Amino acid sequence: MSANRLDILGDATVKPQGFRGSAFGGRFAWRRADLDDDRCYAPLTGEAETELDRVAEVVAGRPLDAEMPRAQEFELEATAKLMADIGNRIFHGIGFAMLDRLPVERWGVPASRSVAWLLTSLLGPIVEQKFDGTRIYDVRDKGKKLTHGVRRSITNLEQEFHTDGGWLPGTPEIAVLACLRQAKQGGMSRVSSLATVHDQLLDKAPVLLAQLYKPLWWDRQAEHAQGEPPCSQRAIFTSDGGGIDARYYDDYVRQGHRLMDSPLDETTLAALDALKAEIEAPEHCFDFFLEPGQIEFVNNRLIAHARTRFEDTTGSDQGRHLIRLWVRRTGGTALESTA
């Protein structure tokens, strides 16, 4: 791309024809300097821990293949109050929160998985993450090589900024990562506000932002029936007039266009590059290590998350282990829900 072409694309005085983009603004459009522990972390209260100790005690006596616990089975007044605060942070605050933290060392892995499920269910229905119906997904290095249909979440590789399920018609509203074990080294978590970067592009390069409101091909990660198209068309940003939703995974978009033999044009490539640069800018990123017992909750339609590469003892079953859950409050629990 020529220097002159880049100058035109990045010139905020050049307005794209027909584009009426508006800013997110508000508390979602944060920068790293705006954040502190009080805004990011929700402490586990003593009252909630007592209630959850009872849950862990009950589920520990159940068979491993038993159904996950339901909130109606237990007295959870303090826990419900805690999760209401987390829900408020997700949808009316900065868009993410870390619950700090469950006593997983005392409860053990099976009971901790069940408690994480129960807590997440208080935010809404837990939905499928794979075509086979999987709803509780283990994020750990399974020694897989990165090929089509193998997600980075089951390798030890760096995972770039993304939102979950971007190829779906209805992405999960909340993505949840519960840490059971840390890596021996690495595996730092990161979050970045897509509201912030959207507004940055609206101010600095509206021509580029307008490209991201147009449908792009997304790799479906082989999570579909045999014979179905390998890709779906979704815009990174959408607006229904009442707000803006975002979905993002640079690699899935580029791979989608390769799979569909549909090369990205010069302007769209510039838009993707500009978006990636803003998301990864240090002043826009909040970095942290999830500790065992901490749970990360993110508004999956506003916040991109990432992790760095990690190392564990080769062949060990005691390495980095997170579980991932998805919540969609309307539209049912099927993977391909349109809500």
Confidence at residue 131, expressed as pLDDT on a 0 to 100 scale: 93
pLDDT digit string, tens, across residues 217-242: 999 998 999 999 999 999 999 988 77
Amino acid at site 203: D
Given a cut of 90, whether residue 105 has pLDDT beyond it is yes
Kindly state the percentage of the chain with pLDDT values over 70: 90
Nearest to 118 by CA among 70, 179, 51: 70
Nearest to 192 by CA among 327, 35, 21: 35
pLDDT digit string, tens, across residues 148-179: 666 667 787 889 999 999 999 999 999 999 99
Given a cut of 60, whether residue 90 has pLDDT beyond it is yes
Confidence at residue 6, expressed as pLDDT on a 0 to 100 scale: 43
Indicate the domain borders of the chain: 37-327
| Mean pLDDT, residues 247-264 | 97
Confidence at residue 75, expressed as pLDDT on a 0 to 100 scale: 98
Confidence at residue 4, expressed as pLDDT on a 0 to 100 scale: 37
Q: How far apart are CA 50 and CA 69, in angstroms?
A: 17
Its CATH class, for the domain covering 37-327, is: alpha beta
Given a cut of 70, whether residue 314 has pLDDT beyond it is no
Confidence at residue 5, expressed as pLDDT on a 0 to 100 scale: 37
Average pLDDT, the chain: 91
Angle at 165 between CA 264 and CA 148, to 5 degrees: 65
Nearest to 173 by CA among 100, 93, 240, 245: 245
Confidence at residue 119, expressed as pLDDT on a 0 to 100 scale: 98
For 48, counting Cβ atoms within 10 Å of its Cβ (0-12 exposed, 13-18 middle, 19+ buried), the class is buried
Confidence at residue 86, expressed as pLDDT on a 0 to 100 scale: 98
Q: For residue 140, what pLDDT band results from cuts at 50, 70 and 90?
A: confident
Considering only 129-133, 150-154, 301-305, 332-336, which range has the smallest mean pLDDT?
150-154
Nearest to 167 by CA among 129, 127, 221: 221
Confidence at residue 143, expressed as pLDDT on a 0 to 100 scale: 67
Given a cut of 50, whether residue 1 has pLDDT beyond it is no
Q: How far apart are CA 173 and CA 181, in angstroms?
A: 25
Given a cut of 70, whether residue 12 has pLDDT beyond it is no
Confidence at residue 16, expressed as pLDDT on a 0 to 100 scale: 78
pLDDT digit string, tens, across residues 258-309: 999 999 999 999 999 999 999 999 999 999 999 999 999 999 999 999 999 9
Nearest to 181 by CA among 326, 323, 30: 323
